[in-house]
């Protein structure tokens, strides 16, 4: 899965230019026996398998360079843009790398949390493994690096960069599509009024999409 990043859009370009480096650590290289075992049945019974503490600890400790270690798990803090920027600034100022420990199966032995700096969840839904969650963290962190985005101004007015703010609605040509018109203010040429409209829409969008009722069942 991670090998595909070398040919994935901005990630591929960043890797090719050495702006970004990704090292994959294979858990089975630290298995407890010659059969490559890294998981076992959970104590107390239940369905599925749990990743064992010993191979995970060995894998984590194989990272010898200064690194901020994150366990991807539903038993963690919900990842958001504020956490993302704080981690990026910490990594930059202290010359750290980031190590992402991907959960799998029914999860990981709880004692693994003692060997990481933070447990993080990307949201309140179920995934089959932590690899796709790792992609999300990597993407959100990498795009903050100077040179990753083609246009650095793209980072200025973004969703979640401000308190209770989702980026305003965007429109492009044609001005009338399927009997739906672009808001007249955007065609006015009055940049101050456009700025005010966008700020207002950004805040109202947050209130609607993040504080509103669940919409799927309606």
pLDDT tens sequence for the chain (218 residues): 888 888 888 989 999 999 999 999 999 999 999 999 999 999 999 989 999 999 999 999 999 999 999 999 999 999 999 999 999 999 999 999 999 999 888 899 999 999 999 999 999 998 988 999 999 999 999 999 999 987 766 666 677 877 788 889 999 999 999 999 999 999 999 999 999 999 999 999 888 888 765 555 55
What is the model's pLDDT at position 215?
59
> According to the model, what pLDDT value does residue 113 have?
96
Q: What is the pLDDT at residue 159?
A: 78
Specify the CATH number for 157-211; select among 1.10.1270.20, 1.10.150.120, 2.60.110.10, 3.30.750.24.
Answer: 1.10.1270.20
How confident is the model at residue 153, as a pLDDT? Answer: 64
Tokens 């990594």 found at? 91
State residue 16's pLDDT score: 92
Q: Return the domain boundaries, the chain.
A: 2-142, 157-211
pLDDT for 207? 86
C-alpha span between 41 and 45 (Å, rounded): 7
**Topology of the domain covering 2-142:** Alpha/beta knot (3.40.1280)
DSSP letter assigned to residue 152: G
Q: Give the Cα separation of 93 and 68 in Å (integer).
A: 12
d(CA 145, CA 102): 23
Question: Cα angle at 139 between 11 and 204, to 5 degrees?
Answer: 130
């Amino acid at each position: 899965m991670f090998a595909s990043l070398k040919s994935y859009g901005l990630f591929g370009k960043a890797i090719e230019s050495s702006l970004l480096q990704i090292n994959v650590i294979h858990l089975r290289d630290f298995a407890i026996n010659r059969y490559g075992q890294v998981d076992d049945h959970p104590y107390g019974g239940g369905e599925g398998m749990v990743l064992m503490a010993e191979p995970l600890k060995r894998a984590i400790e194989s990272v010898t360079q200064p690194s901020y270690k994150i366990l991807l798990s539903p038993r963690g803090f919900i990842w958001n843009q504020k956490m993302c920027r704080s981690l990026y600034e910490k990594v930059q100022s202290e010359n750290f790398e980031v190590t992402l420990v991907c959960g799998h199966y029914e999860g990981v032995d709880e004692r693994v949390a003692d060997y990481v700096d933070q447990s993080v969840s990307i949201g309140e839904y179920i995934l089959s493994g932590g690899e796709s969650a790792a992609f999300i963290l990597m993407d959100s962190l990498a795009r903050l690096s100077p040179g990753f985005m083609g246009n650095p101004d793209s980072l200025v007015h973004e969703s979640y960069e401000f308190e209770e703010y989702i980026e305003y609605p965007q429109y492009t040509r044609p001005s009338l599509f399927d009997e739906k018109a672009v808001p007249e203010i955007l065609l006015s040429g009055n940049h101050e009024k456009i700025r005010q409209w966008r700020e207002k829409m950004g805040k109202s969008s947050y209130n609607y999409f993040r504080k509103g009722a669940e919409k799927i069942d309606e």
